[in-house]
Amino acid sequence: MLDLSPFYLTLKLATVTTAILFVISVPVAYGLAFARWRGKVIVESIVGLPLVLPPSVLGFYLLLALSPLNAFGHFLEKYFDLRLVFTFPGLVVASVIYSLPFMIQPIQNGFRSVPVALKEAAYTLGKSRFTTLTKVLLPNMKGALLTGCMLTFAHTIGEFGVVLMVGGNIPHETRVISVTIYDEVEAMNYHQANVYASILLVFSFLVLISVYLVNNRAFKVDPYHD
C-alpha cells in the first residue's frame, strides 16, 4: 500500500517554504532591482550560490551551523529551546536557503520588466514607495510572482541532498518524498520507487507547463497594437 505521509510532509514543506520566501523575496528583489551600489553584485552572487553549489555541500555546512555542538546551534537550543537538526523546522530553514534564488530572481526580473515611467508617474502623483510597490509595481508583474512561487514550490518538492543532510530520514517528521524514493531503491523495492518517482515526474512536468503558460500570457504581444 502506498504510504501517503511523505507526500503530505513534502507538500507541507513546499507550502511553508514558498510562503516564507515570498515574504522575504519581494523586498530583497526590489532592492536588488533598483539599488545602485557597488556591493550589489556580492549580494546577487550570494543569493544565486545555491544554483551552482552541490546540495550536499550546502547541506553539510548547514548541518554544522545548526548542530547543537557548534556555537549557533548551541545558542538556539540554550536560549530558545530550538533544535533545528533532524526536525521539520530545520528542513524549512534549509529549504528556504536552498530555494532562495528560485524565488528572488524571477521577482527581480519582474521588477525590471515594469516600465520605469509607471514608477515615476506614481512618485509624481505623491504616492509613497510602499503604495507604489503594492498598487503599481506588483500588479504589473503577476507573471513573475506566479513563476517564482511555482518554481520555488516545485524545487522544494524535489530537494534531496540538503534535506537528507539536515533532516535525516525520520518517518512522519523529516522523511520527504525524495528521501522515500531513495529508501525504496536501497531496499530494492523498484516498483514502489517507480510509483513515487512517476508522480514526481508528472508533477514537475505540469509545473513547467504552467510556468511557460504564465510567462507567455504575461509577455504576449498584441499584434494589433502599434
The pLDDT tens digits for 171-186 are 889 999 999 999 999 9
Give the whole-number percent of the chain exceeding pLDDT 70: 95
CATH code for position 67: 1.10.3720.10
Task: Check residues 35 and 191 and name the one with the higher pLDDT.
Answer: 191
Instruction: Tell which residue, 153, 169, 135, has the closest CA to residue 211.
Output: 153
**213 part of a folded domain:** yes
Q: Is residue 36 part of a domain?
A: yes
Return the H-helix or E-strand segment holding 203.
helix 190-218
Whole-angstrom Cα distance, residue 20 to residue 61?
Answer: 21
In this prediction, residue 88 carries a pLDDT of 94
Average pLDDT score over residue span 108-121: 90
**Assigned domain for 81 exists:** yes
Name the pLDDT band for 219 (thresholds 50, 70, 90).
low
| pLDDT for residue 220 | 58
At 49 the pLDDT is 92
User: Which is higher by pLDDT, 119 or 220?
Assistant: 119
- Is 226 contained in some domain? no
CA distances from 35 to 20, 40, 49, 139, 165 (A): 23, 7, 20, 21, 35
In a domain, 131, yes or no: yes
What's the pLDDT at 30?
93
Q: What is the pLDDT of residue 218?
A: 60
Q: What gap in Å lies between CA 63 and CA 186, rounded to an integer?
A: 23
Flag whether 225 is in a domain: no
The answer to the question of residue 191 being in a domain is yes
Return d(Cα 170, Cα 174) in angstroms, integer. Answer: 5
Distances in Å between the Cα of 159 and the Cα atoms of 68, 183, 190 are: 24, 15, 20
Q: What is the mean pLDDT of residues 198-212?
A: 86
Based on the structure, what is the number of domains in the chain?
1
Q: What is the mean pLDDT of the chain?
A: 88
Least confident of 44-48, 110-114, 120-124, 216-220: 216-220
pLDDT at residue 127 tops 90: no
- Res. 3 pLDDT band, cuts 50 70 90: confident
For 131-168, give the DSSP string: HHIIIIIGGGGHHHHHHHHHHHHHHHHT--HHHHHHH-
The residue segments making up the domain with residue 170 are 5-219
The answer, yes or no, to whether residue 73 has pLDDT greater than 60, is yes
Question: What pLDDT was estimated at residue 225?
Answer: 42
Q: Dump pLDDT digits (tens) for 11-34.
A: 999 999 999 999 999 999 999 998
